[in-house]
Amino acid sequence: MSRSRVVKGKNTRGGLKRFTISMQRKLAVLFGLVLLAFTVLGIRLFLINRDNGQIYKMQVLSQQAYENQTIPYKRGKIMDCKGTVLADSQLVYNVIVDSKAILQKDVYLEPTLDALESLGINRDRIREFITNHPASQYYIALKNLSYQNRKEYLEKVEAGIAQEVKNKVPAAERRYSNIKGIWFESGYSRFYPHGELACTVLGFSGSGNVGTCGLEEYYNDTLNGIAGRRYGYLDEGLNMEQTTIEATDGNNLVLTLDANIQSIVQKHLSAFDEEWKNVDHPGNGSNNTACIVMDVNSGDILAMAGTPFYNPNQPSDLAALVGMPKLDATDSPTDGYLTYKDILVMSDEDKPRYLNALWSNFCISEAFEPGSTAKPFTVAAGLETGTVKTDELHFCPGYKYVDEFEIKCHNRDGDGWVTVGQAIESSCNVALMEMAEEIGKENFTKFQNIFNFGLRTGIDLADEARTDSFVSDSTMANSMLATNAFGQNFDATMIQMISGFCSLINGGNYYEPHIVRKVTSANGTTLKTIEPRVLKKTVSEKTSEKIREYTIQVVEGRHGTGETARPAGYRIGGKTGTAETYPRGNNEYIVSFMGYAPAEDPQIAVYVVIDRPNYEYQDDATFATAVVRGIMQEVLPYMGFYMTEPVTDDEYEELEELGLAVTYTGDESPDKWEKKD
């Protein structure tokens, strides 16, 4: 009698017999069905790959190439007041290399390398990349290929292919037809058609459309547009479908600046630099030579420039640094000056420091002691408060003791008895110190704020400096009041000085200085107009009239310090300035002249500052008056102001050399010049 072995309550022997018989049949059927399915699927995939594989492959690659592709926008233009384009963006292309496509066949490599080399791309470098990255389908081999160069390349390739087909060149020997794996990615590159013109006003924009300095930085969001998108997908029929959202181009800026006036200004600043370069020491004609031309009755900036210039198309060109002062650890100028050798060995840490100094706009970003150009402000404060009388007299022995300090006059021998007007004419420090004492600390500091000293002007340019260095009247020493009266021991920027000065001579209207007149869309539609804006009333018309009278004496008076600023044929007013820099006693000066024209009805103001002329004796305002004279001599007739004053024979010859002898005197058109002896 046999026994059955029981495991976990089951009949193992019987169960195994039943599993083997039944499951073998089922498994055999299932295996056959699966094998048949895989066979059919394999055959189907083979047929698809044979007949349509390349089509599907291209569709998938197209989907990869076009999925979420960015369409670049064009950054807005910057134009002067007459439509001259100062900054624009041009269509350029990145040359893209597809290694995988090039390596599909051996015959593709050399023709493609020939083509890339013709575009200015290093052949060995590209060969190395293709060899080391055979699966790469996107490599930027060259950036910013111009539209014209791309066009010429494509025309050459197209003509070559046509010739090969016409001549029935064997496929393996075709040079143009075997160029594979090159395509062009469009974009925009910023460029400045006039190079150095208005460089510190414009600033520049590099990769990523990020503005640096000037208008490019201040109006970065306005100039930038919105990138577009192109989306790709496969529909149910495996066809490529695309959805495109077009890019929105940036808005344009139309400036108050006039490119012709700007070019005149830069010509004369460059001429000064060339004349005085390397005279006393190796280096530029000065540490900084700068000029602002402003519309007296609107705050419009007609020109703004400062040396040294740089080319915003190549803003990092270190050659422009040669002749600039060396910087200390705080980025302040030293007594040394950069040479070509210094540039060659300059460290990577120092390069950005010096480039930032090069790009800086001296007219708005640098504060300095203005010197005697501040004297009309002191007189205006006295006239407004009634503490200074127009008929009062002051005696100048050449010095004045204040708080036990001997403060000297510009004229060491003394000016003797002077009226208020004569004090401005001869730039008498002693008379101004006495007037400041009459005005008092409270009134003086009050009017310094009214004239906007210590406050930003709000000009629409990046990096306007702060000048909040004034002390309050309660803590102001008598010596500080005395020296402030003639423009020492307080700092101001050029834009502060000329904005305030214009209010002194235009009837007391302080205009917010600005350089953008309007914003337009890419198609030219005006989006925003920036009208002249009066921020405050600084002085009365009566006081303004007296300031005009006194500053005309500076140019026309017997002891006037600004006589050399007068352009031939015109009456102008103005004020000279000479300020000793720190440390005192170093014989280094900032000299300046603030001029305006016409004298009877001021329309434009021209302010020139020369920071430490390259000459042994720097304390001479004629450095600045000569530059103002040259600028006005060309700008006034350009703006339509006729000459009203007789000219000497020498002046006439000078005008002939400048091509200005056709600018007649008088309100009509006389047959010849009226000359004076």
Residue 36 belongs to some domain of the structure = yes
Q: Which residue has the higher pLDDT, 583 or 625?
A: 625
673 has a pLDDT exceeding 60: no
Is 47 in the same domain as 131?
A: no
Is 116 in the same domain as 188?
A: yes
User: Can you give the residue range of the structural domain that contains 31?
Assistant: 10-66
What CATH number is attached to the domain comprising 163? 3.30.70
**Which of 144, 108, 143, 145 lies closest to 127 in space, CA to CA?**
108
Q: What percent of the chain has pLDDT over 70?
A: 88
394 has a pLDDT exceeding 70: yes
Residue 656 belongs to some domain of the structure = yes
With bands split at pLDDT 50, 70 and 90, how would you rate the model's confidence at 8?
very low
Give the three-state DSSP class for 351.
helix
Q: Which residue has the higher pLDDT, 239 or 260?
A: 260
589 has a pLDDT exceeding 60: yes
- pLDDT score of 57: 52
Is 95 in the same domain as 47?
A: no
Is 61 in the same domain as 134?
A: no
- pLDDT score of 15: 45
- pLDDT score of 4: 40
The secondary element (H helix, E strand) that includes residue 91 is strand 85-97
Q: What is the DSSP letter of 417?
A: E
- pLDDT score of 172: 86
pLDDT, tens only, 343-374: 999 999 999 999 999 999 999 999 999 999 99
Please give the Cα distance from 109 to 105 (Å, whole number): 8
Rounded to the nearest 5 percent, the helix, strand and coil shares of the chain are 40, 25, 35
302 has a pLDDT exceeding 90: yes
Q: Is the dihedral of CA 563, 567, 569, 574 positive or negative?
A: negative
- pLDDT score of 63: 44
Under 8 Å between Cβ of 435 and 381: no
Q: What percent of the chain has pLDDT over 90?
A: 73
Q: What angle do CA 367, 627, 607 make, to 5 degrees?
A: 40
Supply the DSSP string of 369-395, one letter for each residue.
Answer: --GGGGHHHHHHHHHHHTSS-TT-EEE
Question: What sections of 451-487 are H helices per DSSP?
Answer: 478-484
Is 94 in the same domain as 61?
A: no
27 has a pLDDT exceeding 90: no
Residue 338 belongs to some domain of the structure = no
Mean pLDDT value of segment 257-273: 98
Residues in the chain: 677
Please give the Cα distance from 220 to 214 (Å, whole number): 10
By mean pLDDT, which of 32-46, 161-175, 248-262, 491-505 is the weakest?
32-46
Residue 55 belongs to some domain of the structure = yes
pLDDT, tens only, 442-500: 999 999 999 999 999 999 999 999 887 655 676 789 999 999 999 999 999 999 999 99
- pLDDT score of 141: 93
76 has a pLDDT exceeding 90: yes
Give the end of a domain, one of 146, 176, 192: 192
**Which of 581, 637, 577, 627 lies closest to 604 in space, CA to CA?**
637
**Which of 218, 217, 458, 493 lies closest to 364 in space, CA to CA?**
493
Residue 138 belongs to some domain of the structure = yes
Residue 15 belongs to some domain of the structure = yes
- pLDDT score of 284: 97
- pLDDT score of 674: 46
Residue 144 belongs to some domain of the structure = yes
The upper half-sphere exposure of residue 634, i.e. CA atoms within 13 Å in the direction of its Cβ, equals 18
pLDDT, tens only, 507-560: 999 999 999 999 999 999 999 999 999 999 999 999 999 999 999 999 999 999
Is 102 in the same domain as 181?
A: yes
Q: What angle do CA 318, 319, 321 make, to 5 degrees?
A: 70
Is 95 in the same domain as 184?
A: yes
14 has a pLDDT exceeding 70: no
The label of the residue with tokens 């040294």 reads 308
564 has a pLDDT exceeding 70: yes
- pLDDT score of 656: 87
With bands split at pLDDT 50, 70 and 90, how would you rate the model's confidence at 660?
confident
Give the end of a domain, one of 192, 221, 251: 192
With bands split at pLDDT 50, 70 and 90, how would you rate the model's confidence at 254?
very high
56 has a pLDDT exceeding 80: no
pLDDT, tens only, 99-141: 999 999 999 999 999 999 999 999 999 999 999 999 998 999 9
By mean pLDDT, which of 63-67, 159-163, 254-258, 475-479 is the weakest?
63-67
- pLDDT score of 404: 87
Mean pLDDT value of segment 429-434: 96
Supply the DSSP string of 279-314, one letter for each residue.
Answer: SSSSS-SEEEEEEEEEETTT-BEEEEEESSP--TTS
566 has a pLDDT exceeding 70: yes
Is 41 in the same domain as 110?
A: no
With bands split at pLDDT 50, 70 and 90, how would you rate the model's confidence at 21?
low
Q: Which residue has the higher pLDDT, 60 or 298?
A: 298
Is 116 in the same domain as 151?
A: yes
Please give the Cα distance from 374 to 7 (Å, whole number): 115
62 has a pLDDT exceeding 90: no
177 has a pLDDT exceeding 80: yes
Give the end of a domain, one of 160, 192, 224: 192
By mean pLDDT, which of 71-85, 149-163, 436-450, 457-471 is the weakest?
457-471
Q: What is the mean pLDDT of the chain?
A: 89
- pLDDT score of 86: 98
- pLDDT score of 18: 55
Is 52 in the same domain as 114?
A: no
Mean pLDDT value of segment 254-276: 98
Is 61 in the same domain as 94?
A: no
Q: Which residue has the higher pLDDT, 16 or 221?
A: 221
- pLDDT score of 7: 40
Could you tell me the pTM of the whole model? 0.85
Is 118 in the same domain as 57?
A: no
- Total domains in the fold of the chain: 3
Residue 141 belongs to some domain of the structure = yes
- pLDDT score of 668: 42
Please give the Cα distance from 329 to 344 (Å, whole number): 20
- pLDDT score of 29: 73
Number of C-beta neighbours around residue 57 at 10 A: 11
pLDDT, tens only, 198-208: 999 999 998 78
- pLDDT score of 619: 92
